[in-house]
Amino acid sequence: MVPIRDINPSRSFPLITAALIATNCWIFVEHYEEGAGFVHALNRLGYVPAEGFSWERALSSMFMHGGWLHLLFNMWTLWVFGDNVEDGLGKVGYTGLYLGAGIGAIGLHHLLYPLSEVPVVGASGAISGVMGAYLVLYPRARVYTWIPPWFFTALSARVFLILWFVLQLVQGTLDRFVNLVEGDTAGVAFWAHVGGFVVGWGVAQVFPRRPHPSEWQDLGLG
């Protein structure tokens, strides 16, 4: 399931979202090169559970990506959902959620794969937190969705995000508990997605639900 765009205009320019995208792109481009140099950068900036917990590595891993497609997909997803969550939580709250969800994602991955020597990189854990918050704040928004290879549809955010979360949960369960993978992963840190999503969902629960302009008519305000 790939989000194309949502039908949920933001109230103001998403400054923090734009800054996060720019930072992720800059760090990737700064370190990207073909061959051993890039592998070294992934090992240096990525989070490796077998080496023990590190706040510094947990943070650096959130801003490094394993390739162009990895970067572009994550940044597009952040752009689709991030602007509205930034509206709903405010810039300080949104920044805290993003970083907290990223740390929570790494923490759950570490807990389930403590022997893994594969470096974890990518903003997907933090972005999963943004998606979890979006579910709380804008469950009725519409999301244009591509279901590969050829199916396009518009789903409510509630349906899209719950289906996405269940998919991560199922794939993570198969990876860790059915295939009994302990020291490695199938290549995607599904439990990091689960952890980040739960953190974002939980954080958004403490913020008051503000009606979006698209809902004013339903409330008798339009």
- In one-letter notation, the amino acid at residue 141 is A
Which of 204, 23, 4, 192 is closest to 108 using CA atoms?
Answer: 192
Give domain status of residue 185, yes or no: yes
What is the extent of the structural domain holding 124?
2-208
Q: Name the E strands within 32-103.
A: none
29-75 pLDDT, tens digit each: 998 887 788 889 999 999 999 998 999 999 999 999 999 999 999 99
Of the pLDDT bands very low, low, confident and very high (cuts 50, 70, 90), residue 103 is very high
Q: Which residues are catalytic?
A: 124, 193
Q: Name the E strands within the chain.
A: 2-7, 142-147, 151-156
CA 95 to chain centre: 13
- Neighbouring CB atoms inside 10 A of 184's CB total 12
- Give the whole-angstrom CA distance, residue 57 versus residue 204: 26
125-156 pLDDT, tens digit each: 999 999 999 999 999 999 999 988 888 999 99
Classify the C-alpha dihedral 13-73-125-28 as positive or negative.
Answer: negative
Peptide bond into 149 cis (omega under 30): yes
CATH code for the domain in which residue 204 is found: 1.20.1540.10
Give domain status of residue 123, yes or no: yes
Of the pLDDT bands very low, low, confident and very high (cuts 50, 70, 90), residue 218 is very low
Tell me: pLDDT of 216 over 60.
Answer: no
pLDDT of residue 174: 87
Give the global pTM.
0.89
CA 78 to chain centre: 7
Summarize the confidence of residues 198-209 as an average pLDDT: 87
Counting the structural domains of the chain, the total is: 1
